[in-house]
Every structure is written in structure tokens, then in C-alpha cells.
């Protein structure tokens, strides 16, 4: 049986035509896990007629679900290309390196809700609404699962190899565009879940956040390594990128997670710092509750993109990207 | 379940500020038209910065004058909207070193550091020093201290000398960033303050776009009235 999977989110930026809309939402489902994500252009970029420089992808293969988000730096000439290349190349290589289980988890039969245009646009300046909705048919048969455990492979090594791969892809683009690597400067955050075992693996290189939401608290699942200077972040295109990679492995069940939030700094800055002092807990609980209020993930994705593009927080003007994983 | 209901999510009430410090020379040689032009320039700076939505939200200003005495006219950092351009009275020497020591005190006291779970930190402060002469006290130690702070907070110190009495070598040595010279007429002062307004606006905009690999804070090219000191 073919190993089915899906890819939703941002495509690699094309020079030939517009592939990086200002507002993008996507969702996916693998096993018991649902993922809803959105990325929106920042207020400042809107005013200056610049595009969105964040990118994200939700991708599955077999029982694996991978989320990648990246923030192309505004100071970099080709930040949007950098972020879209990073999430694409990294996720492709990473999932391709994982042991493939022939099991294709049975999913609930997709309920085809008619696609309707929202009367409320994500932002008043939105000329068009973009989005991607995919359905794959249910597996015709299931073959016995091959148990996969973290002992069988080294996620840390795969991570570094995947970043190397992403860097080589970016380097190739840089050569063809007569640009330098730093023109594509971008951060990279990723979260991997095995939908059968609940094994999770987080990566962070640069700013942003991977937050675990539990009953009573929300915490950073990956503690990023940063320069300590506001406005500066390590990026995957810099020569010493290896020094800035932080990873973490955990179990969804053991950690008693309700949801995991993967976000670029445009959102992270609005929930990591107070006042109030317990803002991360409040934010985690609120987001999880609000996302659960929608019956279907496509509606959650629409709600998320609308909220991200319209919420107001002082001195918060950057592109905003957030992906939420929940059971 | 109602999908039309907007999301109700708690958000940080914190503000990431862009601290801007103006160190203004009001020594005796600035008496008369020059100090009047500086005063008008500071008022122009306030108007220009306030006119920009993003800068208005972010810029907090601190003014230090040095002449007869060294004073912090704003009592620390104040939001640009609450800033009242001061009336300046020129006289005395040029104690730049003392002014820089006061700046260090304000950096320690008023500039916030980022702490997850704590406060949103401030952006890198921008410091402009305007002088028409040679410092009359020791400034080297204070500059060294500011430089040493680089591990904790990066500060760009831009020096501008006005009039015929400036010492270009000292201006260059004091600066942590570029140095400029200009004439001491009202047109040049206006151009200078308009340019620092532009710089502040540019920086406040670029701040929402983090820089990797410690790139320098971008500043717009200066107007014709200001010439780089190489």
C-alpha cells in the first residue's frame, strides 16, 4: 500500500508567480492528532507594501506528523524565500530519514463541509482569500504496524542532517540568485509527533517558541538558545548554526499535554512576557479553549488566521505564525 | 458551537520600547542662535516622531544636557507623547565625560532586559551626541564602560559635531557607530533633528524584523547638511 501523507501550508516562494500569500491557513489530521496553523503578514509589512516573511508547513508521512515554522528576517533581502525553503527542505529531508512504518492509521472518514467564502476577511485589506484544503481517501486496508521507538534512530542526528540539507538547498538558490546565504536568513522551529506512540521531538534554532499546554500550566518545551540581545536571533544560514540548535524529546502522554503551540516571535513576544506574570498560562489555556470551540479544523484554521491578523498588542507589528497541535 | 464568535485570548500588556537618548552640548560656545536652534530642533524631533504610528508607540526619550552642569532634563525615559521639549540655557564648559556617566546610570536604571515570564525587554538604545567643541573632561573611561556593556546591551552612539571648533578625531573616538560634522546654522540643526527622527522611525520599524548574526542597527543615509567623518 502506498504510504500516504499530506503537505499543507506554504509552498516554496517562486520568482515566477505569487506563491506566498499575505494570509495563509492550513490544517491536517493524523491519527488522534489534529493540527491547525495560520500565518499572517505583520502590520508594518502591510503598511510598507511588503509581503509576509514567515512560513510554515504541516506535513505527514506514515504515522509521523511534522510541523515546521520559520521567520525570514526582515533585514535579509530574501527572507521569505529563506523561510519557505527552510521549512520545505528541512521537513522533506527529516520525514524521509525516519523509519517508515507501513501502517497508515485509520482516520475518521472526512466530512466534506462545503467550502464557503468567509464574509469577514482575515484583514480589511485582504483582496483575496487563500487557503488549502486537502483530503486523502481512507486507507483501504491496514497492515500490521511496525513498532517505532526513539531508540531505533537518532532524532538529533537526523535534525542536524536535515538542517544541513536545508542549508545546501538555500545555498544552491543563493548561487542561482547571485545572492548570499545571509540574504536568506531565517530561523527554524519544528515539532514532530508520532501519532501512534505519542513520541514528540522539538527543535528550535532562533527565536519563537514551542509551548506545551497542560491542565494547570503552559511551559516552553524547548528552551531556545539566544544571543540575549533583543532584536537579534540566530539563524540557520549563519556559519556557526550548530551552536544554536536546541532539541528536546518527550512523550505526549507522560507530559499530559493538551496541546502544543509552535510559533514565530511575532506571536511568541505577545505571550512569553508580562505583565501579567502568568501570561503564558493564560494564553495557552485561552488558545486551546478557543480552538476547541470549532467543530471542524477548517473552521478553526479560518478563525485562527482572522484572529492572528486582527488582534492588537502594543508594539506588536511583526508577521505572526502559529500552529496548534491537539488531540 | 458558533464559529463566528471571535477568539478571546489573553495577551501580554507589555511594551517593547525603543529608548532614544539625546546628549546635547549647551556649553558657553552654544550660546545664542545655536542653542535656540537646538531647542527648536528637539521640538521638531518630537513632532516628527509623533507623526509616525509605529515610532509613536515605541519611542521613549531621555535628554541629557551638558554645559554649566550635567542634567537629565526628562528625569529618565519618557514616552514621546509625554515629552515636553525643554528650554535650554547655554553656558559653561563641555563635560561630555560626566554626561556619558549619567547616560550609563540611566541605561542601568531605565532600560529593561528581556526575561521570559518577566518583562518584555527594550530594544537596543540609540544614543545621539551633539557637540560644538572638544570635551573638557575625561570621557574615555565612560566610553569604555559603555563598550563593555556590549555583552548585555548593545548601544549605538552616534556623534555629530557642529561648527568650526569641533575635534573630528575625538568625535570619531567617542562614537560607537558613525560620526558626522555639520554647520552650526539653524538649517543644519533642523536637518540634523529631522534626520535623527528618520533614523528613529527607521529603527523602530526595522526592530520588528529581528536581525541575525549581529548586524548593525540600520540607519538611513544622512542629509546633505551632515557629512560623514571617515
C-alpha distance from B56 to closest chain A C-alpha (Å): 10
Identify the residue with better confidence: A139 or A97: A97
Residue for grid cell 542601568: B108
In this prediction, residue A190 has a pLDDT band, given cuts at 50, 70 and 90, of very high
Q: Which residues of A199-208 are buried (b: 16+ CB within 10 A; e: fewer)?
A: bbbbbbbbbb
CA A288 to chain centre: 16
CB contact under 8 A, B208 and A42: yes
The span from the CA of B156 to the CA of B3, in Å, is 49
- Write the DSSP symbol of residue A169: H
Q: What's the confidence (pLDDT) of residue B197?
A: 85
Grid cell listed for B67: 554645559
Beta-strand ranges (E) seen in B15-142 are 18-25, 59-66, 70-72, 78-79, 126-131
**Chain B residues touching residue A206 (CB < 8 angstroms):** 212
The span from the CA of A98 to the CA of A152, in Å, is 10
Contacting residues for A35 by C-beta, under 8 A, at least 6 apart? A27, A28, A29, A58, A65, A67, A297, A323, A324, A325
Q: Please give the backbone phi and psi of residue A183, each rounded to the nearest 5 degrees, phi first.
A: -65, -20
pLDDT tops 50 at residue A113: no
User: Does any CB of chain B come closer than 8 Å to the CB of residue A243?
Assistant: no
C-alpha distance from B9 to closest chain A C-alpha (Å): 5
In this prediction, residue B217 has a pLDDT band, given cuts at 50, 70 and 90, of low
**DSSP notation for B15-37:** ---EEEEEEEE--GGGTTHHHHH
When CB atoms are compared, the residue of A44, A272, A304 closest to B205 is A44
When CB atoms are compared, the residue of B54, B122, B213 closest to A230 is B122
**DSSP notation for A271-315:** TSSBSSTTHHHHHHHHHHHHHHTSSSHHHHHHHHHHHHHH---TT
The span from the CA of B57 to the CA of A143, in Å, is 59
**Chain A residues touching residue B11 (CB < 8 angstroms):** 270-271, 279, 283, 311, 313
Which residue of chain A comes nearest to B9, CA vs CA? A286
- Measured at the CA of B227, the angle between CA B221 and CA B230, to 5 degrees, comes to 95
CB contact under 8 A, A277 and B7: no
Contacting residues for A159 by C-beta, under 8 A, at least 6 apart? A94, A190, A201, A203, A245, A247
Q: What's the confidence (pLDDT) of residue A102?
A: 42
Nearest C-alpha neighbor of A38 from the set A20, A21, A51, A26: A26
When CB atoms are compared, the residue of A232, A282, A317 closest to B10 is A282
pLDDT tops 60 at residue A252: yes
Identify the residue with better confidence: B156 or B210: B156
The span from the CA of B114 to the CA of A273, in Å, is 8
Residue for grid cell 493540527: A35
**Chain B residues touching residue A185 (CB < 8 angstroms):** 212-213
pLDDT tops 70 at residue A114: no
When CB atoms are compared, the residue of A71, A231, A304 closest to B123 is A231
**Beta bridge partner(s), residue A259:** A213, A326
Considering the entire predicted model, what is its pTM?
Answer: 0.85
Q: What's the confidence (pLDDT) of residue A137?
A: 43
Identify the residue with better confidence: A74 or A41: A41
Rounded to 10°, the helix B96-110/B140-148 angle is 20
The span from the CA of B12 to the CA of A96, in Å, is 39
CB contact under 8 A, B12 and A231: no
The span from the CA of B134 to the CA of B220, in Å, is 27
Identify the residue with better confidence: A12 or B107: B107
Per-residue pLDDT tens digits for A53-88: 999 999 998 889 999 999 998 778 899 999 999 999
Q: Please give the backbone phi and psi of residue B115, each rounded to the nearest 5 degrees, phi first.
A: -145, 120
User: Does any CB of chain B come closer than 8 Å to the CB of residue A114?
Assistant: no
CB contact under 8 A, A275 and B122: no
Amino acid at each position: 500500500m502506498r504510504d500516504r501523507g499530506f503537505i499543507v501550508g506554504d509552498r516554496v516562494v517562486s520568482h515566477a508567480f505569487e506563491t506566498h500569500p499575505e494570509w495563509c491557513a492550513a490544517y491536517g489530521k493524523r491519527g488522534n492528532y489534529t493540527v491547525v496553523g495560520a500565518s499572517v503578514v505583520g502590520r508594518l509589512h502591510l503598511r510598507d507594501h511588503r509581503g509576509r516573511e514567515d512560513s510554515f508547513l504541516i506535513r505527514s508521512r506514515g504515522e509521523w506528523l511534522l510541523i515546521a515554522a520559520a521567520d525570514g528576517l526582515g533585514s535579509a533581502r530574501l527572507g521569505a524565500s529563506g523561510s519557505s525553503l527552510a521549512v520545505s527542505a528541512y521537513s522533506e529531508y527529516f520525514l524521509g530519514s525516519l523509519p517508515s512504518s507501513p501502517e497508515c492509521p485509520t482516520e475518521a472518514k472526512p466530512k466534506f463541509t462545503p467550502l464557503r467564502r468567509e464574509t469577514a476577511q482575515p484583514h480589511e485589506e485582504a483582496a483575496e482569500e487563500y487557503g488549502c484544503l486537502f483530503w486523502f481517501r481512507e486507507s483501504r486496508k491496514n497492515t500490521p504496524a511496525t513498532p517505532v521507538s526513539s531508540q531505533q534512530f537518532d532524532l538529533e542526528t537526523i535534525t542536524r542532517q536535515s538542517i544541513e540539507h536545508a542549508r545546501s538547498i538555500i545555498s544552491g538558490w543563493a548561487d542561482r540568485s547571485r545572492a548570499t546565504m545571509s540574504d536568506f536568513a531565517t530561523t527554524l522551529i519544528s515539532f514532530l509527533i508520532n501519532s501512534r506512540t505519542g513520541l514528540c521531538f522539538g527543535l528550535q534554532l532562533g527565536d519563537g517558541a514551542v509551548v506545551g499546554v497542560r491542565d494547570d500550566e503552559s511551559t516552553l518545551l524547548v528552551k531556545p538558545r539566544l544571543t540575549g540581545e533583543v532584536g537579534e536571533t540566530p539563524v540557520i544560514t549563519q556559519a556557526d548554526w550548530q551552536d544554536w540548535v536546541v532539541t528536546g524529546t518527550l512523550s505526549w502522554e507522560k507530559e499530559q499535554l493538551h496541546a502544543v503551540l509552535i510559533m514565530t516571535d511575532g506571536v511568541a513576544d505577545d505571550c512569553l512576557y508580562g505583565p501579567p506574570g502568568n501570561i503564558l498560562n493564560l494564553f495557552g489555556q485561552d488558545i486551546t479553549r478557543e480552538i476547541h470551540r470549532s467543530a471542524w479544523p477548517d473552521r478553526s484554521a479560518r478563525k485562527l488566521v482572522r484572529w492572528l491578523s486582527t488582534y492588537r498588542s502594543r508594539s506588536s507589528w511583526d508577521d505572526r505564525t502559529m500552529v496548534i497541535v491537539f488531540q | 458551537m458558533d464559529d463566528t464568535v471571535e477568539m478571546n485570548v489573553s495577551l501580554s500588556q507589555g511594551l517593547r520600547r525603543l529608548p532614544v537618548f539625546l546628549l546635547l552640548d549647551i556649553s558657553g560656545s552654544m550660546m545664542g542662535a545655536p542653542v535656540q536652534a537646538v531647542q527648536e530642533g528637539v521640538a521638531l524631533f518630537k513632532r516628527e516622531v509623533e507623526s509616525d504610528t509605529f515610532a509613536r508607540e515605541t519611542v521613549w526619550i531621555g535628554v541629557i544636557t551638558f554645559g554649566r552642569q550635567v542634567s537629565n532634563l526628562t528625569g529618565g525615559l519618557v514616552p514621546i507623547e509625554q515629552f515636553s521639549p525643554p528650554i535650554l540655557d547655554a553656558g559653561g564648559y563641555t563635560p561630555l565625560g560626566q554626561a556619558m556617566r549619567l547616560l550609563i546610570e540611566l541605561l542601568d536604571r531605565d532600560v529593561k532586559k528581556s526575561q521570559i515570564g518577566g518583562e518584555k525587554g527594550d530594544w537596543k538604545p540609540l544614543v545621539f551626541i551633539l557637540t560644538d567643541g572638544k570635551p573638557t573632561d575625561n570621557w574615555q573611561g565612560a566610553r569604555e564602560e559603555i563598550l563593555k556593556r556590549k555583552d548585555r546591551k548593545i548601544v549605538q552612539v552616534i556623534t555629530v559635531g557642529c561648527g568650526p571648533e569641533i575635534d573630528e578625531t575625538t568625535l570619531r573616538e567617542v562614537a560607537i557607530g558613525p560620526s558626522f560634522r555639520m554647520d552650526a546654522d539653524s538649517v543644519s540643526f533642523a536637518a540634523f533633528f529631522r534626520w535623527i527622527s528618520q533614523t528613529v522611525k527607521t529603527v523602530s520599524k526595522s526592530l520588528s524584523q529581528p536581525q541575525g548574526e549581529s548586524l548593525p542597527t540600520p540607519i538611513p543615509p544622512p542629509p546633505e547638511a551632515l557629512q560623514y567623518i571617515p
